[in-house]
């Protein structure tokens, strides 16, 4: 955060400059929001990236050892095509299946980032609700996280149906 202030001139806390506090929305305020938004976006966006990349790499290495890849290489298929045709798609299955859990984790991580960067979002609101024992507000926020888990799981199931040719629709209907 020190480097953001020194190198880029961006203040560390808040979503906009202090001159826009209490002011109606304007182009200057909008540009100030865009100027300050890159810090939380980078922090939230890169939070679980290393673990996801590691899992995809491990699954890809497992797929590359399978006989169909060796057969494709032996028949003269170019290396990049032999990698992207099936092994990469098959290694993405586990990543796509994890999307259902990633969506609520991003929201939960955003709460902590909002508190640390003093952003006026739902993070401080949830902490205030928990400290004042406002069970309705805290419960509705947890219900939102549960809803996002269901939506994430639905999205991952639909994406898996398109990605993996082994997954078929129920009732014996083929694509």
**In the chain, domain spans:** 37-170
| H/E segment holding residue 74 | helix 67-74
CA dihedral angle for residue 161, residue 157, residue 163, residue 70, rounded to 10 degrees: -110
- Tens digit of pLDDT per residue, the chain (175 long)? 666 667 766 666 677 777 777 788 888 888 888 887 888 888 888 887 888 889 889 999 999 999 999 898 899 989 898 888 888 888 888 888 887 778 778 877 888 888 888 777 878 888 889 899 999 998 998 898 888 888 888 988 888 888 877 777 665 555 5
Whether the model clears a pTM of 0.95, i.e. scores above it, the answer is no
Q: How many CA atoms lie within 13 A of 110 on its CB side?
A: 14
């Amino acid at each position: 955060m020190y480097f953001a202030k020194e190198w880029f001139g961006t203040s560390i806390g808040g979503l906009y400059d202090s001159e826009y506090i209490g002011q109606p929305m304007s182009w200057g305020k909008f540009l100030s929001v865009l100027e300050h938004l890159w810090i939380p976006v980078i922090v939230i966006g890169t939070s679980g990236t290393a673990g996801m990349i590691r899992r995809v790499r491990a699954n890809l290495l497992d797929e590359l050892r399978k006989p169909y890849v060796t057969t494709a290489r032996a028949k003269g298929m170019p290396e990049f095509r032999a990698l992207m045709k099936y092994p990469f798609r098959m290694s993405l299955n586990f990543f796509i299946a994890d999307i259902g859990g990633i969506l609520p984790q991003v929201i939960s991580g955003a709460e902590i980032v909002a508190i640390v960067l003093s952003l006026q979002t739902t993070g401080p609101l949830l902490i205030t609700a928990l400290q004042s024992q406002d069970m309705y507000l805290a419960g509705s926020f947890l219900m939102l996280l549960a809803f996002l888990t269901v939506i994430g799981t639905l999205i991952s199931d639909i994406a898996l149906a398109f990605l993996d040719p082994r997954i078929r629709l129920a009732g014996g209907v083929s694509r």
